[in-house]
Amino acid sequence: MYGVITTVPAPVEMYDGMHAEMVKRAGTSIDGLLVHVGRATTDGFQTLEVWESKEHYDRANTDVVFPLMRELAGDQPPPSIEQAAEAFDLHGLVIPRGNIVI
């Protein structure tokens, strides 16, 4: 398991746009993603994610997330989220409706 919290100092509307476009393109299934939660913070937004492995996380960022960020940023530089990503040790995960218990 690989858990990561990413903090982005950008308006939560950026997250909303990215999230909507990701769901439109990828649906509700991204290989290796078990949990994704997005939330507004006082100075931007955060995502909390649990992945099957760090390799799944890295591949999704390389193949899906970063290209979409560049596309949606247009002429503006996308925010750097790599410096604001914090891995955490996962000690339990329960998703009753998904029939997942770890």
pLDDT-based confidence at 52, cuts 50/70/90?
very high
Q: Can you give the pLDDT at residue 29?
A: 82
- Put simply, whether the predicted model's pTM sits higher than 0.75 gets the answer yes
From the list 60, 88, 54, 68, the residue with the least C-alpha distance to 21 is: 68
H, E, C per residue of the chain: CEEEEEEECCCHHHHHHHHHHHHHHHCCCCCCEEEEEEEEECCEEEEEEEECCHHHHHHHHHHHHHHHHHHHHCCCCCCCCHHHEEEECCCCCEEHHHCEEC
pLDDT tens-place string over residues 63-98: 988 888 888 877 777 666 556 889 999 988 887 776
Please determine, for residue 6, whether its predicted confidence score (pLDDT) is greater than 70: yes
Residue 32 zone, left/alpha/beta (φ > 0; ψ -120 to 50; rest)? left
Mean of per-residue pLDDT scores for the chain: 86
pLDDT tens-place string over residues 21-34: 988 888 778 899 99
> Would you kindly state where each structural domain of the chain is located, as residue ranges?
2-101
CATH T-level assignment (fold) for domain 2-101:
Alpha-Beta Plaits (3.30.70)
Q: Are strands 94-95 and 33-41 parallel, antiparallel or unpaired?
A: unpaired
